[in-house]
């Protein structure tokens, strides 16, 4: 038996409980894993509170990411004792995830845990950190550099935003953080932000072309915030769009794209091929300032995952929730 969060819905009634599960109930997979740490991402908060249709079959164990040790393997690349990290692939949505002491996954989904991180540190970064690195890599691949101007990070005090601010500052960018939390300015400056702007100034409809400012943007918000960020992006700049914290809509025109050559780079962490995942995790291990772990992380036991999910949904959270599962 092992402990797991189990989400269920029958006759439209949702239930989330932490309970003992028999290993025989685990879904098919070619690696049996001990999960040491998981984390709470926005998507996990949606699933744990049934706030959006994230879960595609019931019952479901949530947890879109995890890190730990291989217990058993029928996969050529993995053997007992190997250390792993996993993100996405539909785990916690259509395949049982990592808010549980055990997981049965496909070996093809796992990435070797970078030697520089332990499982806890990997999950402080988690899917948010890995997505932030994908966005930073998309900006670099576009060819814009810190010498070209400033970078804007939206939803800056959240998980993706916090890691993006830190990574971009380390790469030499002048980072401007957009945040709705007036009391987060000190935190964002400690992460590396040179300036903090009030989210309210970007949250309503604006003109499709505004005064040019940003060489690059990492956007976690969507909706008007993304539209206004595109409207202020300089000629030839790039906007890496990865989130929908404000909304799924994108109320703008093609003007920034056809009159200023702005590129909208979509970031999807869930279905990235293995090579891109390894590259992002290797870059995180090389570049992330480990002194920031203590600043970003809020650690909690598995039993507190649902309470923390509620605080994410209420917009009260800052940084990253790392969940101690089985150590
Ligand atoms: P968090 O909940 O940690 O952070 C979201 C941040 O967005 C908040 O901290 C807040 O920052 C800001 N925010 C909250 N509510 C609103 C609002 N109504 N309008 C505008 N901004 C708001 O989430 P994550 O950082 O984990 O994820 C951010 C987004 O990225 C989510 O939409 C998530 O689904 C998405 N995502 C996408 C991935 C992908 O593969 N494309 C992978 C991972 C995440 P502040 O107060 O500082 O403004």
Read off the CATH number of the domain in which 70 is found: 3.90.180.10
> Is 282 domain-assigned?
no
Mark whether 86 and 204 lie in a shared domain.
no
With the most atoms of ligand 1 within 8 angstroms of its CB, the residue from 153, 245, 315, 318 to mutate is 245
Residues 76 and 160 placed together within one structural domain of the fold: no
Q: How far is the CA of 153 from the centre of ligand 1 (A)?
A: 11
Mean pLDDT of 46-56: 93
Tell me the CA–centroid distance for residue 78 and ligand 1, in Å.
Answer: 34
| CA of residue 289 to ligand 1 center, whole Å | 22
Say if 74 falls within a structural domain: yes
Beta strands in 128-284 (DSSP E): 150-153, 174-179, 195-198, 214-219, 233-241, 263-266
> Based on the domain organization, do 66 and 190 belong to the same domain?
no
Position 75 scores a pLDDT of: 98
Tell me how far the alpha carbon of residue 82 lies from the centroid of ligand 1, in angstroms: 32
Residue 250, pLDDT score: 98
Same domain? For 139 and 95 the reply is: no
Domain limit, last residue, from 266, 299, 316: 266
Question: What does pLDDT average to over the chain?
Answer: 97
- As a whole number of angstroms, the distance between CA 326 and CA 37 comes to 7
Cβ 176 vs Cβ 194: under 8 Å: yes
Residues 205, 320 share a domain: no
- 185 and 293 fall within a common domain: no
Number of domains in the chain: 2
Among candidate residues 124, 79, 84, the one with its CA nearest the CA of residue 103? 84
The continuous run of DSSP H or E covering 276 comes out as: helix 274-287
Q: What confidence tier does 316 reach under pLDDT thresholds 50, 70, 90?
A: confident
The reported pTM is 0.97
With 80 as the cut, is the pLDDT of residue 327 above it? no
- Of residues 84, 89, 83, the one with CA closest to residue 269: 89
Please check whether residue 295 lies inside any domain of the structure.
yes
Whether the bond into 30 is cis, omega within 30 of 0: no
Q: What is each CA distance from 205 to 82, 185, 223, in whole angstroms?
A: 50, 25, 9
Looking at residue 252, which CATH number applies to its domain? 3.40.50.720
List pocket residues of ligand 1, CB cut-off 6 Å.
Answer: 41-43, 127-128, 131, 155-161, 179-181, 184, 199, 220-221, 225, 242-246, 267-270, 312, 315, 317
Residue 277 belongs to some domain of the structure: no
Return the ligand 1 atom nearest residue 46 CA. 34
Q: What kind and span of H or E run contains 225? A: helix 223-231
Q: Which domain holds residue 214?
A: 128-266
Question: Mean pLDDT across the stretch 160-189?
Answer: 97
- 81 and 165 together in one domain: no
Q: Which residue in 146, 133, 63 sits closest to 322, CA to CA?
A: 63
| Cβ count near 135 (within 10 Å) | 30
């Amino acid at each position: 038996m092992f402990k797991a969060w189990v989400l269920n819905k029958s006759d439209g009634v949702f239930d989330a409980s932490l309970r003992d599960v028999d290993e025989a109930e685990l879904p098919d997979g070619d690696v049996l894993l001990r999960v040491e740490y998981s984390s709470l991402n926005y998507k996990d908060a949606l699933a744990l509170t049934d706030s959006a249709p994230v879960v595609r079959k019931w019952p479901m164990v949530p947890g879109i990411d995890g890190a730990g040790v291989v217990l058993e393997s029928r996969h050529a690349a993995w053997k007992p004792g190997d250390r792993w990290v996993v993100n996405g692939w539909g785990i916690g949505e259509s395949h049982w995830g990592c808010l549980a002491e055990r997981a049965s996954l496909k070996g093809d989904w796992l990435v070797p845990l970078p030697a520089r991180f332990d499982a806890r540190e990997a999950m402080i970064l988690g899917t948010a950190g890995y997505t932030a690195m994908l966005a930073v890599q998309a900006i670099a691949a576009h060819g814009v550099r810190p010498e070209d101007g400033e970078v804007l990070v939206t939803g800056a005090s959240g998980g993706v935003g916090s890691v993006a601010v830190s990574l971009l500052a380390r790469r030499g960018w002048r980072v401007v953080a957009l945040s709705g939390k007036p009391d987060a300015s000190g935190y964002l400056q400690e992460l590396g932000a040179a300036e903090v702007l009030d989210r309210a100034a970007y949250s309503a409809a604006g003109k499709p072309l505004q005064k040019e400012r940003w060489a690059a943007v990492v956007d976690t918000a969507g909706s008007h915030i993304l539209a206004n960020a595109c409207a202020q992006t300089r000629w030839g700049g790039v906007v890496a769009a990865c989130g929908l914290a404000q909304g799924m809509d994108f109320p703008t025109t093609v003007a920034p794209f056809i009159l200023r050559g702005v590129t909208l780079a979509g970031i999807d962490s869930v279905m990235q091929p293995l090579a891109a995942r390894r590259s992002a995790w290797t870059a995180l291990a090389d570049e992330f300032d480990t002194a920031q772990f203590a600043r970003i992380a809020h650690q909690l036991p598995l039993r507190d995952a649902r309470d923390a999910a509620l605080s994410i949904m209420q917009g009260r959270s800052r940084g990253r929730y790392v969940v101690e599962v089985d150590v």
